[in-house]
Amino acid sequence: MEGMEDEGPSSQGELPLIEDVQLSPEERLCVESSDPLENVCVNKEAVHKLTEGLLSHYLPGLQNSKRTLQELTQNQLILLDTLDQEVSKFRECNALLDLNSLFTEAKAYHGKLVNIRKEMILLHERTTKLKKRALKLQQHKQKEALEREHQREKEQERERQLIAKPAKRT
């Protein structure tokens, strides 16, 4: 920049240097610094054009980046929803597995209950037969006891008849 200060505005369409242009007080924008060598006065129009140039240079890229970020955010939300759905499907599958294990367990217990019922029916039949047999044995014993009692009574009667009776005197 130092070599350009001496030349001044050229006729090739270059912009005049800021130092070469006379600015009215309304067109000047002065920025004062604590260092006196850094005090700068600039043309407001130049600042405006530089700002527009800077924005036109970077704004499309930033807008594209913003759109891309919005699309990524939207895609992330879609992915999160999809993941939530998949997680709920896995939970349902686990619930179904638990349900299947419960049904298998219920089937096993049902089989055990059927076996217990069969055993109880068998035991009931056996006890019924034993009761009938016990009743028959009891009746048979009573009959034998009754027969023995009759036999004993007959023997007693016979002995009575065999006992000599004193003759009656006339």
Q: Which of 47, 38, 55 is nearest to 18 (CA)?
A: 47
Instruction: Measure the CA–CA gap between 55 and 29, rounded to whole angstroms.
Output: 20
The pLDDT assigned to 27 comes to: 57
- Residues 22/43, Cβ–Cβ less than 8 Å: no
Q: H or E segment at 137?
A: helix 44-162
- Residues 34/43, Cβ–Cβ less than 8 Å: no
The pLDDT assigned to 35 comes to: 65
Is a pLDDT exceeding 50 seen at residue 7?
Answer: no
User: Tens of pLDDT along 101-149?
Assistant: 899 999 999 999 999 999 999 999 999 999 999 999 999 999 999 999 9
- Residues 67/76, Cβ–Cβ less than 8 Å: no
Is a pLDDT exceeding 50 seen at residue 26?
Answer: yes
Q: Please list, in sequence order, all residues whose beta carbon lies within 8 angstroms of the beta carbon of residue 60, skipping any fewer than 6 positions away.
A: none
- Share the mean pLDDT of the chain: 83
Confidence band for 14, pLDDT divided at 50, 70 and 90: very low
Q: Which of 45, 51, 37, 42 is nearest to 19 (CA)?
A: 42
| CA distance between the termini of the chain | 191
Token pair 């060598």: residue? 37
User: What is the identity of the amino acid at 167?
Assistant: A
Instruction: Please give the biggest Cα pair distance in the chain.
Output: 201
Q: What is the pTM of this model?
A: 0.39
The pLDDT assigned to 100 comes to: 86
The pLDDT assigned to 31 comes to: 57
